[in-house]
Structure 1
Amino acid sequence: MKALHISEKQDIEFWPRIEPDLGPSVQARSSRAALVLGGCLSYLALSLFLFPSWPPFRNCKHSKWHRERMPLSMLEEIMMLTPQEEEARKHSDYYTSGPHLGGKNFSQAMWTKERWEEYGIPEVEIVSYDIYTNYPKSHRLGLLKAKGDDYKLLYEASLEEPALEEDPTTALKDRIPTFHGYSANGNVTAEFVYANYGTYNDFEDLLSHGVNVTGKVVLCKYGHIFRGLKVKRAQDLGAVGVLIYSDPGDDGKITELNGYKAYPDGPARNKESVQRGSVQFLSFGPGDPTTPGYASKPGVERQDPSPFIPSIPSLPISYMDALPLLTALNGHGKNTSEFGEYWRTGGLYHKNVQYFSGPAKGIVVNLHNEVEYVITPHWNVIGKIPGYIKDETVIIGNHRDAWIAGGAADPNSGSAALLEIAKSFGKMIELGWKPARTILLASWDGEEYGLLGSTEWVEDHQKLLHTTALAYLNVDVGARSPVFSVAANPLLQDLVFNATQKVVDPNRAQQGHFDDSVYDVWNKKVRTLGSGSDYTAFQDHLGIPSVDMGFGGEDANGPVYHYHSNYDSFHWMEKFGDPGFKYHVAIAKIWGLMALQLAETPIVSFNATAYASSLACLKDFVSASQKFDAEASRLAHELAKDIPWWNWWKKAALWLKARAINQKYKYLDRAFLHPEGLDDGRHWFKHVVYAPGKWTGYSGDVFPGLLEAGREGNWTNVCRWVRIIRHSVDVATKELSGPL
């Protein structure tokens, strides 16, 4: 939607109409009186609407509209002092104390709502959606050798993570079995092949070397791309099932082979850990696969989900269960180390694994997966702190659900931090604070299955979000290492830099370096947004600038993170991930400071120049962005000056201009939405600039439509996408260059 400029509004009149039938002198006196009265009334109305805490209301103690504005510095001080390590630890302990799969965590939703209300968040509600999803019933994986018309069992996989005495939640009676979300039911017996990471290029390598996967079960490693796309590519090529395991070759130097003990005794990977996860085709559309593009409310029409979820069964397995399968392929098919360096990353050579492709004649696997598909409620908790400016909203969110009882890092380190932010906001409210802009807090359900809760909520509120949302700030894994990691829309780049400069790095502080901020020790790399967490619907579907961040970067000297495993537990977090919960507090501070900066500063803290510069070779857009940012900076400087109350015309003019600038910033990213969406069944993704890679899922592509058309050699589509991009850039450029 085109931003509406103040100069274009026809319903705002600063001067009253003058009736033409009055006498000359009366008319003159009436005009002067009308000018004075109209001016005062206009100033009154504009002050109430745009800046209720600024003159003349700052000193009007008896005005019912009066709110004493707390300076941003004071708000930031509260945000820096309120979050506490012991409180974050208590929150983490609660969230990780029992199973909380998507659609099975209502008690946690209620608990979260009650805590927010207790802390003073004024409006809190639970919003539910009826979503199509699956839950595990039974599974089996056997390695068999043909013997006449029958088979001999060579190995029976455990498909279970053993309980650990040191780690209480791993032994819960109701712990969640290993399975894949949105996996298909099936019982297949077939030969199998090894496909490295199961990427698009890996399958191309197999085919080019004469290894056919049709009718086979594919065995591949986790890593590099989203797991659901491994299954999709195998399915497209005719495979009948997929097995995915975690190879210690991807754990860097922290391995048992290098002398490190395995969890729970040390930081290396437990050989029986299993990565659960969704196999939804994430880069083709998140959310409920039966309601693409609209919310899953009771009674809605539902579509065939097959374009978005697999039709062949799959299972996640440990590398302990993968070993017998891999060694059974030794000497059969092709030696994949000859395929190139990319295929030589396995970490099980010392276990007699030679990483041959297979298949091995007469050696088969029996893969059995039984899941139950249901339509069941998922519960989002939404908190609202109403601001003075009703059509500018800042949203911060994290998901609650996890594949296991734990989830101490993913997602509940973020959940614990969000509670500390809510507590900080509550203290500000108690002191009389009301934000300039509305702030929404969101605790999402069903993220792990495919960003379910957030996607359905965004689809449900897309018209309102289009006209009000400024930005979405997401934290998923808040803390699992001391390494800060961020992916963001460039509009929010300065916001990240500013907040990280204000928070001391906990490890450096512990070493006595209290002047070393998170910004100082961070590599300053801001990645392109792809998908994999709840920012996706905001950024890729509605063009709402988003950021995803946390202390979740890879630490070469740190412990192996047991992603989506029972061993992502409170015990692991307390011993290895974030002892002392210092980084839980650090991410809460960074997150909260960013939200305050967006909600409170007169000029929205966006950087259009960074956005334009990230899109190479679009000089006109860069020039317009530079001029616009310069004008925004100049105006912010003018607004910071102490203007006498009687010079209200200048104050009013400045705030009207600020309003216009903020509206342009708000709608800038919307200029890059293409209503028809991307090609090849990816119509849900509307953004011309940002989308997950078609065959990567997690990592993001810039100009995805153009890139995919080029990769596929479709030059007609290349030309079409060039025109689409050029049009979007022209719209954005004209918007920034237009009158204020």
Structure 2
Amino acid sequence: MQVSHWLPCFSQDTVKQHDLSVDPRNGKISSFRCPIIPQNLPSVIPSDCTTKMSQDLENQPLLATRSGRSIGSQSRPPHKIVTIQRQRHHGRTWCRMAAFSAIGLTVVAIFNAMFWPRSSLSRDISWFRGNKLPSAEIERLILESPEPDRIREHSKYYTSDPHLAGRNFQQVEYTKAKLEEYGFNVKIETYPVYINYPLEHRLALLEEGSDDAIAFEATLEEDILEEDPTTGIANRVPTFHGYSASGNVTAEIVYANYGTHEDYLNLVAKGVSVEGKIVLVRYGKIFRGLKVKGAQDLGAIGVIMYSDLADDGEVTVENGYAAYPDGPARNPSAVQRGSVQYMSLCPGDPTTPGYASKPDSPRTDPYECVPRIPSLPVSWKEAQPFLKALEGNGLGAPDMGDDWSGASKYNYSTGPSVAKVNLYNLQNTTISPIWNVIAELPGHTKSSEIIIGNHHDAWIAGGAGDPNSGSAALLELARTFYVLKQQGWKPLRSIVLASWDGEEYGLLGSTEWAEDYADTLKKRVIAYLNVDVAVAGHSLEASGSPLLERLFRATLGKLHTPEGDSLIENWKKSSQKAILYPPGSGSDFTVFQCHLGVPTLDFGFGPNKTDAVYHYHSNYDSFHWMDNYVSDSWEYHSLVVKILGLMTVQLADDPVMDLRVSEYARSVRYYIENIKKMVPKEWLNEKTSSIAANFHKIEKTIGEFKGKAGKFDGLMESYSRRLNHDYPWYRSWHKILLYFHIAQANQKVKYIERSFTREEGLDNGRGWFKHIIFAPGYWTGYSGIPFPGLVEAIDANDIETTEKWQEIVLEKLEKIIDCLD
């Protein structure tokens, strides 16, 4: 803005005195030190300044006019007009504002840099993976989402029709559709496998002294019950044994108790031969296929198996309980079907041991893994005539041992019987496709995954306990994860749900798939959780790798039974110390634990002493039986879903893998202490062998393992705590360093289980079993025998092989100690 004032002209001295600046182009005063203020504001103009300036100007020539034209002194009027320009500098004002703003922002930035933003590695990982759900909310949804009514409906569908392996595509499609509905990426994996289906069978007791006159012929059928609809469907599955050989044999019978290795040795020691005979055995203690193998190895030509009421505990008709369907006791016509493959030698397709069964796969002789002699299962009711035929022949139960007799009124004589038995079994042995349903929920990282598995095939139309209590739970688990996803959850690691086919014949589906993808699975899988018979009673039972024991126990600590009891206390009643039993075989965890070296957990609720008798592999393992005698509220099924959900999310989401090595060290020490007690005393004489010295080295190394494991677990715990520590941005390098430390530790703990595998596998034709600690016993099939190579060498009185396995154990322990460093 320009302001003009009428003032006297300034002399050159005045200009100099008052430090006035005059623009030579126009004669205007551009600046001055002494304030020249408009005359209407006299109060701000110093009087001495204005007076002096006026006097000076009176005697000076005109310097400039408004137009800037020079005027001589001769024509100077008494007063002239001078123009004074007063300027407001807008640029300077904005500069000042900008400077003050910059200073303020700098102060705020410094404050924020020191105190905000502050972030933890845990939050950063959650943000990067796109997860919007906090841990507490995830846990709440897992505990609240499972719906018993949905589980019941799934069970009702699965158990409504027969679903033998390779003949259950309807159930396969149902499973696939449900998993897709719940947001999983689903595919069906097909494998052509060697398998058998029943055609004809007959079991007859002949008249004494006759080869054709029949005294009794078994129906080989279970009673049709009006109350239980699936027991009478037209296409119900006949009673038979999977992988039983076809044959038509006639011979006397010999009773061999449970048909264990010890039972057969007992017969041999007592001079009772089974060569050329048909052997009668009862179910229990060991896998049924090994009962047949034991008889075959001694020259028997056939085997009959039955279920003895003495093995049903307290719940029997004799103790006042009514038989099913009127009560919880065993229906006397119940028959246990099942496979007679040699489970402890070679699970999976017996013609492709160690490699996947595909259309172009070479096939070997199956009879290294399955029997050459026929066998048939019968009921308790139809076993009585055969026990009666043995009575008084051979040795009696008192001669054979305390556990030789059962619940029959007959005396369990060894025989051989006088009367002969005709056993006829005709099987259709073929190559048939089986179908695995594999569903993936991708995580943020594709390099690690957790697998949860159950099988969908069954020997019968029912299978409400085995396997479809687990099948129904698996689908509800999938729906629970879907609920989490809808709320913004995304797992850190991938989750795979697997519905296997062919488990009942010999773990076919899981074994072929794992052999097919072995290299990938060894790199990626953190843990495999198996749920087979999820619910058949109310007593929690569990086996698995010690690496998962702490997590399993912590999960149980958050839950209660439907009756309100502590789940930990429930577990203690079945396992005494609430510890995991060593894994053996008998379900789909086998290939992961024993072949690949992946830590596994297998659990479910089985019958306690007062629960209804479980009709295993019988038509009476039905929806009606489950709904009326086991879990009418289906809350135990829901509890299985919660256990699986909590464990899976912990394994999938926790940046620090929740596997603890200290539990492993404790278990290894316990196993070795028990094995040492089995060693003959003379072997511990250092003069005759190095066995005593080797045990001392092993025990010392286990001590080192325990120490290293404790330190490693402590380190993992410290990483877990630091995960939630907030760091300012200028200390981000701490988080980066922590991230790489955790990744390194995770890689180590991930391969602890693999470190106990040995490429050559076990001895005695058991090369498929690679794990040196966990495998089924050679003559048990189901139950795990820790350090089986060492145990079997001791049992065989083989000092040289015992020393070999001691060295193998020592080598593996030292390797793991180095890894933990």
Q: TM-score, normalised by structure 2?
A: 0.80
Q: Secondary structure at the match of 2:446?
A: strand
Residue 194 (structure 1) aligned to one of 243, 248, 255: 255
Structure 2 vs 1, CA of residues 52 and 256 (structure 1 numbering), >3 Å: closer, same or farther? Answer: same
| AA partner of residue 485 (structure 2) | I
TM-aligned CA deviation for residue 507 of structure 1: 2.0
Residue 164 (structure 2) aligned to one of 89, 101, 109: 101
**How far apart, CA to CA, are the structure 1 residues paired with 2:800 and 2:334?**
47
CA contact (8 A) 1:409 1:568 kept: yes
Alignment match, 1:577 = 630
TM-aligned CA deviation for residue 66 of structure 1: 6.5
- Asked if 1:420 corresponds to 2:469, the answer is no
Alignment match, 1:587 = 640
TM-aligned CA deviation for residue 53 of structure 1: 7.8
| AA partner of residue 273 (structure 1) | A
Residue 133 (structure 2) aligned to one of 70, 81, 99: 70
Q: How many residues align?
A: 666
Map of 1:49-64 to 2, 5 A cutoff? 54-55=123-124, 58=127
Alignment match, 1:132 = 194
**How far apart, CA to CA, are the structure 2 residues paired with 1:708 and 1:128?**
37
Alignment match, 1:517 = 566
Alignment match, 1:359 = 416
**How far apart, CA to CA, are the structure 1 residues paired with 2:131 and 2:319?**
61
Structure 2 vs 1, CA of residues 146 and 521 (structure 1 numbering), >3 Å: closer, same or farther? Answer: closer
CA contact (8 A) 1:52 1:66 kept: no
Alignment match, 1:119 = 182
Alignment match, 1:654 = 738
**How far apart, CA to CA, are the structure 2 residues paired with 1:187 and 1:223?**
26
- Asked if 1:250 corresponds to 2:311, the answer is yes
Greater shift after overlay, 518-527 or 86-95? 518-527
- Asked if 1:596 corresponds to 2:645, the answer is no
- Asked if 1:546 corresponds to 2:606, the answer is no
Cα shift readout 1:193-219 (whole Å, capped 9, x = no counterpart): 000000000011111111000000000
**How far apart, CA to CA, are the structure 2 residues paired with 1:525 and 1:688?**
20
Cα shift readout 1:307-359 (whole Å, capped 9, x = no counterpart): 10000000010011110000111110110222221213x0112xxx1110001
Q: Secondary structure at the match of 1:620?
A: helix
Alignment match, 2:293 = 232
Alignment match, 2:357 = 296
Return the structure number with greater relative CO, CA threshold 8 A, min gap 6. Answer: 1
Q: Secondary structure at the match of 2:353?
A: coil
Cα shift readout 1:1-24 (whole Å, capped 9, x = no counterpart): xxxxxxxxxxxxxxxxxxxxxxxx
TM-aligned CA deviation for residue 221 of structure 1: 0.4
**How far apart, CA to CA, are the structure 2 residues paired with 1:315 and 1:504?**
42
CA contact (8 A) 1:56 1:645 kept: no
| AA partner of residue 541 (structure 2) | S
- Asked if 1:565 corresponds to 2:621, the answer is no
Q: Secondary structure at the match of 1:646?
A: helix
CA contact (8 A) 1:484 1:522 kept: yes
Alignment match, 2:820 = 736
- Asked if 1:110 corresponds to 2:173, the answer is yes
TM-aligned CA deviation for residue 715 of structure 1: 1.3
TM-aligned CA deviation for residue 442 of structure 1: 0.3
Residue 727 (structure 2) aligned to one of 643, 654, 662: 643
**How far apart, CA to CA, are the structure 2 residues paired with 1:445 and 1:691?**
22
Alignment match, 2:546 = 490
- Asked if 1:176 corresponds to 2:237, the answer is yes
**How far apart, CA to CA, are the structure 1 residues paired with 2:596 and 2:390?**
48
CA contact (8 A) 2:275 2:298 kept: yes
CA contact (8 A) 2:259 2:291 kept: yes
Alignment match, 1:343 = 404
**How far apart, CA to CA, are the structure 2 residues paired with 1:99 and 1:306?**
28
Residue 773 (structure 2) aligned to one of 669, 689, 698: 689
Cα shift readout 1:372-428 (whole Å, capped 9, x = no counterpart): 011111101111111122211111000001000000000100011101110011112
TM-aligned CA deviation for residue 430 of structure 1: 2.1
Alignment match, 2:756 = 672
Cα shift readout 1:619-650 (whole Å, capped 9, x = no counterpart): 11111111100111111111121222332100
Cα shift readout 1:255-300 (whole Å, capped 9, x = no counterpart): 1111111000011101000000000000001000000011111111
Structure 2 vs 1, CA of residues 179 and 483 (structure 1 numbering), >3 Å: closer, same or farther? Answer: same
CA contact (8 A) 2:462 2:620 kept: yes
Alignment match, 2:92 = none
| AA partner of residue 321 (structure 1) | E
**How far apart, CA to CA, are the structure 1 residues paired with 2:641 and 2:420?**
50
**Aligned sequence identity (%):** 50
**How far apart, CA to CA, are the structure 2 residues paired with 1:72 and 1:101?**
41
| AA partner of residue 657 (structure 1) | H
**How far apart, CA to CA, are the structure 2 residues paired with 1:644 and 1:551?**
49
- Asked if 1:333 corresponds to 2:390, the answer is no
CA contact (8 A) 2:349 2:508 kept: yes
CA contact (8 A) 1:120 1:427 kept: no
Alignment match, 2:274 = 213
Greater shift after overlay, 484-493 or 640-649? 640-649
CA contact (8 A) 1:284 1:308 kept: yes
- Asked if 1:708 corresponds to 2:802, the answer is no
Q: Secondary structure at the match of 1:203?
A: helix
| AA partner of residue 340 (structure 1) | G
CA contact (8 A) 2:121 2:735 kept: no
Q: Secondary structure at the match of 2:733?
A: helix
**How far apart, CA to CA, are the structure 1 residues paired with 2:451 and 2:470?**
15
Q: Secondary structure at the match of 1:374?
A: strand
| AA partner of residue 157 (structure 1) | A
Q: Secondary structure at the match of 1:496?
A: helix
Structure 2 vs 1, CA of residues 52 and 305 (structure 1 numbering), >3 Å: closer, same or farther? Answer: farther
Alignment match, 2:109 = none
5+ residue gaps, structure 2, are: 1-119, 573-577, 670-698
TM-aligned CA deviation for residue 54 of structure 1: 4.0
**How far apart, CA to CA, are the structure 2 residues paired with 1:320 and 1:712?**
39
TM-aligned CA deviation for residue 151 of structure 1: 3.3
**How far apart, CA to CA, are the structure 2 residues paired with 1:66 and 1:208?**
66
Map of 1:398-547 to 2, 5 A cutoff? 398-508=454-564, 516-523=565-572, 524-547=578-601
| AA partner of residue 348 (structure 1) | S
CA contact (8 A) 1:53 1:68 kept: no
| AA partner of residue 377 (structure 2) | P
| AA partner of residue 368 (structure 1) | Y
Map of 1:261-280 to 2, 5 A cutoff? 261-280=322-341
**How far apart, CA to CA, are the structure 1 residues paired with 2:312 and 2:216?**
26
Q: Secondary structure at the match of 2:348?
A: coil
TM-aligned CA deviation for residue 56 of structure 1: 9.3
TM-aligned CA deviation for residue 683 of structure 1: 0.6
5+ residue gaps, structure 1, are: 1-50, 59-64, 509-515
TM-aligned CA deviation for residue 360 of structure 1: 2.1
CA contact (8 A) 1:219 1:244 kept: yes
**How far apart, CA to CA, are the structure 1 residues paired with 2:433 and 2:818?**
44
Structure 2 vs 1, CA of residues 52 and 94 (structure 1 numbering), >3 Å: closer, same or farther? Answer: farther
